[in-house]
Structure 1
């Protein structure tokens, strides 16, 4: 298994794996998990899955260079496949309104899709594994093992995104792993940024600046984790300690 997402409104979860399959899992009365449906559409292993807020859309990305949109009817079916990337797609993010998705691939391109047609291509000069929307007009891109995080904002006149600023963050490594997507929690103005061996917890201020509140240093770059659904706990696993570690967020 390479990626897993719990659905918000139902008692099941979605997994993607190296066997090229996406599986919908459901729990029954005996507290056992069973395969409800297998989605077989990608020709290589699954790297990332996104679920929308209504739990009726799954967006998947794969090492086959494609992004697929799956919708819920009687069963889950593939509604659309995007093939604009010419390299492996590593990262996906949905905006607040659930109307746009951004993706990054090792073809050094960021694609922005609206319902789900490509509306902008951004060529970058550095490879990266992570990006995420902050709001409908702003997103973050993390270059590979660089101690700078780039901020892109929409130009009000052209309605196109362009790079506006860079923020210095910690990395601690010259290699990284695609696991642990960036995560922004709007209610707490909190950005969780994994970069190399560091997990940087950053707060967005009222003036739009980001400040690092805490950097957690690990001994290995292979770190998996995210904030829990209640946004109170950060859950991580790293390849060095082989431990699941749970940290509680303390509000200032």
Structure 2
């Protein structure tokens, strides 16, 4: 942002060879992770300027989803190749420590905490929960949570999101946005499903969980919904 409070382009990062489908920034704002249709995940670090420090080539097709854990030392990814990658940082290098093969590819996934993440298979009415096994440090699917979809197509660019203060997952699936509560006993319950007329829905929930902002290609409106305690 310049002296007149206008956003200006300060860097152009040119490494990917195709569309970038997902992009995350760490809490310190000195690491960017990007996933692309060129089948790669790239790690960009900021010193005096942004540079690409590492490339992961383990995906065999487009990369659609990324998430960082609370400790910021582990990333997960998903893509068209029906793979979930678990990538861990050690000695300033990111290493793939686990590959999970899934039945259906997905656009979105999200860490709930360091030990649990969720994954939404494409066009399915279940969201999958993965938990780590402390004996072998490997993740495996432990739950399937019923969610709404309204069968049809879906689209990326609306990342799955976990609001820790509200214990709520925002999970776009087909033409629906599912709001899923993570209860203290570990259960996941879909509390509300917001139905749209089209699958081209994009948005985000505010960090405090009070507002959900969306835009869809049918209404062509920015819609703002406010959380109300029942």
Q: TM-score, normalised by structure 2?
A: 0.96
Tell me, yes or no, if structure 1 residue 251 matches structure 2 residue 229: yes
Tell me, yes or no, if structure 1 residue 31 matches structure 2 residue 9: no
The CA deviation at 1:46 is 1.0
CA contact (8 A) 1:177 1:222 kept: yes
The counterpart of 1:173, out of the listed 136, 140, 151, is: 151
The CA deviation at 1:229 is 3.3
Q: In 2, distance between residues paired with 1:179 and 1:158?
A: 33
CA contact (8 A) 1:148 1:166 kept: yes
Q: In 2, distance between residues paired with 1:206 and 1:32?
A: 43
Tell me, yes or no, if structure 1 residue 153 matches structure 2 residue 131: yes
Cα deviation, 1:93-151, whole Å, max 9, x if unaligned, reads 10111010000111111000001100000011112111111111111111111001111
Task: Tell me the residue number matched to 2:88.
Answer: 114
- Aligned runs of 1:184-203 on 2, under 5 Å? 184-203=162-181
The counterpart of 2:57, out of the listed 80, 83, 90, is: 83
Cα deviation, 1:126-180, whole Å, max 9, x if unaligned, reads 1211111111111111111100111111112111001111011100122110121
- Aligned runs of 1:90-239 on 2, under 5 Å? 90-115=64-89, 116-239=94-217
Kindly tell me the number of residue pairs found equivalent between the two proteins: 226
The counterpart of 1:72, out of the listed 24, 28, 46, is: 46
Q: In 2, distance between residues paired with 1:196 and 1:234?
A: 17
Aligned to 1:172, the other structure's residue is in SS state coil
Structure 2, gaps ≥5 residues long: none
Q: In 1, distance between residues paired with 2:62 and 2:215?
A: 25
Structure 1, gaps ≥5 residues long: 1-26
Higher relative contact order (CA 8 A, sep 6+): 2
CA contact (8 A) 2:78 2:105 kept: no
Cα deviation, 1:49-77, whole Å, max 9, x if unaligned, reads 10001111000111101000001111101
Q: In 1, distance between residues paired with 2:73 and 2:152?
A: 35
Tell me, yes or no, if structure 1 residue 46 matches structure 2 residue 11: no
Task: Tell me the residue number matched to 1:17.
Answer: none
